[in-house]
Each structure stands twice: as C-alpha cells, then as structure tokens.
Amino acid sequence: MSRVTVIGAGNVGTIAGMSLAASGRFDEVVLVDNAGGRAAGIALDITHSGPLLGFSTRVRGERTVAEAGASEYVIITAGRARTPGMGRADLVGVNAAIVGDLAAQVAQVSPGAVIVVVTNPVDEMTQHVQAVTGFPTERVIGMAGLLDSARFRALTALEAKVTNEEVSAIALGSHGDEMVLPLSQATIDGRPILDVLDADTVDGLVDRARNSGGEVVGLLGNGSAFVAPGTSAARMVLDMAGGFGRSAVAGETISATVAPSGQYGIDGGYVGLPVRLGPTGVAEIVELDLSDDELTQLRSAAAAIAERVSAM
Ligand SMILES: NC(=O)c1ccc[n+]([C@@H]2O[C@H](COP(=O)([O-])OP(=O)(O)OC[C@H]3O[C@@H](n4cnc5c(N)ncnc54)[C@H](O)[C@@H]3O)[C@@H](O)[C@H]2O)c1
C-alpha cells in the first residue's frame, strides 16, 4: 500500500494533505498532529470532499508518527508559524526542538522515506532533520524555492499581463533575504525578462516575491501563508511519486533546498538549488549557466545559511 504522511495538520498541512488526497496517487494520506482531534477532524473533512472532487483516497488523522505507520514520503509542517513582527529566524529555537523530535520518530517508523521539510526557518530545519535522521542528503529536501519561484512567476504574469505558463523563472539561495532570482534564467513568452519589462519593474517584482511571505503575514494578521506553501510541498511529493497534476511536468527542473557537493562551487550545507527529483529524492542538482554576479549571490546565501546553522 502506498502511503504519504503529513506531520502538522495546521494550515499548510491541511492544504498539502488535501492536494495529495485529490491527486489520487496514494492509497492513503495520513495527517499527524498532537493537538487533540485536529488531525482526525481535518482528515474526515478532506474525506468528505472526495465525492465532490472525484477522489477515493483513504485519509486518516493520528496524534503520533508511530500511529501513522511506515510511509514512502513524509512532509514535516509541524511547528510554530510567524505572526506579524516575527521573522522566520525567530522560530528557530522552538521549531528545532519540535522538528528534531519528530524527525527522530520518522527515522524509526519510516527508515526508507523521503522527507520534505516545510517548517521554518526551512533552510536550517532541513539540515537539522538530515542530521537527526542520518538519512542520505538526497532523501531530506526543503521546500522553499518552488514556492518563491511560483510567487515571482505569478506576480510577473500579473504585471506583464500574460499567463503564468508564459513566465519561466527559478528562485534559488535562501528562503528570505538571501533569495536569489537569476534574471539570466527568467523569460516571458520565451524572451529574456529584461527585454519585456524595464529593470526597475523587474527589481520591484523580485523584491515583492522575496517579501511575499511577510506581505501575506501582514494581511492575515494571524498566522502565515499556507495555500501556495501547502500546494508546493504536495507538488514536490507528486513530482517524486509520479502523480503529476495538470501543471506538473515529469523531470522538470525545480528549485529545492538541497545539499550540494561541489555544484556551483558550494560543498556541504543546504541551500536552494535547481534540481530534478526522482522517486527516491534528489536525482540531480542541475547546473545552470549563471552569471558571475548570480554565482556570487548564491554562494553568499549558502554561507549565510551555514553561519545560521552553526549558531543553532
Ligand atoms: N518553507 C516555506 O516556504 C513555508 C511556507 C509557509 C509556512 N512555513 C512554515 O510551516 C510551518 C507550519 O505553518 P502553518 O501555517 O501550517 O502553522 P499552523 O500553526 O497552522 O500548523 C502547525 C501545526 O503543527 C502542529 N504541531 C506542533 N507541534 C507538533 C508536534 N510535536 N507533533 C505534531 N504536530 C505538531 C500544531 O498543532 C499545528 O496544528 C511553520 O513553521 C511555518 O513558518 C514554511
């Protein structure tokens, strides 16, 4: 039986669980949350939507990782989310304890799983999960770049009055201030982005994408973005599991937080890079032809993450 487990049935976990259930790719989607009947309640609610959305995936809610059972893929969203005035880094202490404990349980229950880490600060949490589980780095991947890329593409499509499909771009580096959006790789309808939009407009779009998480936090007033984040996490799992939806392309290069071994001149640690995912995690770190300036920005992002990890 194929099973995916989503740990943390909060806002992000609910959307991820819903997307995975609706994909029909797995026999069972299990939500895990230690808050009372939350996971069971969300699981039942998602189950009720099956006849409406046309899926029959079994959706179960549990309080512990052990009750979920062995899974091929595990998404970790458990932990605190940002509230207005908080940066992602403010979450590091509390979330490292939660995520570390859960990761150790996942290693026991699902020793062969691929783990997608969502909990913030995601760059640091991904490295923490890899260290706690001892899994090969290919099987511990952070979700950030796919979301940041989608944010930039959506904002650019609105600005240029084109469809999302006509905008191609990839966000690398860190999830936050050190997000790197290489304009050498960004196109609108196949043309270099700077041939279509002026430089000031593009700079504004990059800044807005970089700060989109904070923009949503400010608007919500309570909690942080969850629709695009939950969708992104599910999409990464579906890319690996072959449950490709309408917008996914098999073997497509996407951005994810992964551990380079020399690619882009970066060795060790975790940072957002272009990858191709396969059934057992990272199949390949794709080496794009970046400009010298983009490479410098990427290496500084990796160095900044490494510094934060060593301070944890
Ligand atoms: N990587 C990204 O791009 C990205 C994007 C959005 C949100 N996030 C992060 O994802 C995390 C979840 O965000 P959210 O909006 O879903 O928050 P949320 O508060 O809605 O949900 C978190 C859930 O985790 C559960 N939880 C806490 N400790 C647990 C434990 N030990 N075992 C099981 N469940 C536990 C809580 O009960 C809660 O239901 C946050 O850290 C947030 O910052 C990351």
pLDDT tens over the chain, length 312 residues: 899 999 999 999 999 999 999 999 999 999 999 999 999 999 999 999 999 999 999 999 999 999 999 999 999 999 987 777 777 778 888 899 999 999 999 999 999 999 999 999 999 999 999 999 999 999 999 999 999 999 999 999 999 999 999 999 999 999 888 999 999 999 999 999 999 999 999 999 999 999 999 999 999 988 899 999 999 999 999 999 985 544 445 568 999 999 999 999 999 999 999 999 999 999 999 999 999 999 999 999 999 999 999 888
CA of 183 to the centre of ligand 1 (A): 32
Asked if residue 121 has a cis previous peptide bond (ω within 30° of 0), the answer is yes
Q: What are the C-alpha distances in Å from 294 to residues 199, 298, 299, 300?
A: 16, 6, 9, 10
Query: Is 13 annotated as a binding-site member?
Result: yes
Atom of ligand 1 nearest to the CA of 232: 3
Euclidean distance between CA atoms 171 and 275, whole angstroms: 12
Cα torsion at 236, 241, 247, 248 (round to 10°)? 80
Euclidean distance between CA atoms 223 and 230, whole angstroms: 14
Euclidean distance between CA atoms 65 and 63, whole angstroms: 7
| pLDDT at position 208 | 97
Pocket probe mutation, ligand 1, options 42, 94, 120, 148, max atoms within 8 Å of Cβ: 120
| pLDDT at position 247 | 43
Residue 280 DSSP code: T
CA 130, distance to chain mean position in Å, is 15
Residue 198 tokens, joined: 């002026």
Active site residue 175: yes
Query: Is 3 annotated as a binding-site member?
Result: no
Place of tokens 């939500």: 31
Closest CA relative to residue 236, chosen from 212, 257, 211: 257
Query: Is 235 annotated as a binding-site member?
Result: no
The answer to whether the CB of 46 is under 6 A from ligand 1 is no
| pLDDT at position 246 | 41
Asked if residue 136 has a cis previous peptide bond (ω within 30° of 0), the answer is no
Three-state DSSP class for 296?
helix
State the pTM of this model. 0.96
In angstroms, how far apart are the furthest CA atoms of the chain?
54
Beta-strand pair 58-62/73-76:
unpaired
| pLDDT at position 86 | 75
The one catalytic residue in 25, 128, 139, 175 is 175
The answer to whether the CB of 13 is under 6 A from ligand 1 is yes
Atom of ligand 1 nearest to the CA of 88: 43
Contact 128, 158 (CB under 8 A): no
Three-state DSSP class for 76?
strand
Tell me the one-letter amino acid at 179.
M
Q: Is the ipTM of this complex over 0.90?
A: yes
Q: How far apart are the first and last CA of the chain?
A: 38
Name the residue at shortest CA distance from atom 11 of ligand 1.
119
Closest CA relative to residue 31, chosen from 52, 55, 12, 50: 12
The answer to whether the CB of 34 is under 6 A from ligand 1 is yes
Pocket probe mutation, ligand 1, options 19, 74, 77, max atoms within 8 Å of Cβ: 77
Residue 261 DSSP code: B
| pLDDT at position 250 | 54
**CB 245: neighbour CB atoms within 10 A?**
15
Angle, CA of 62, 65 and 69, to the nearest 5°: 85
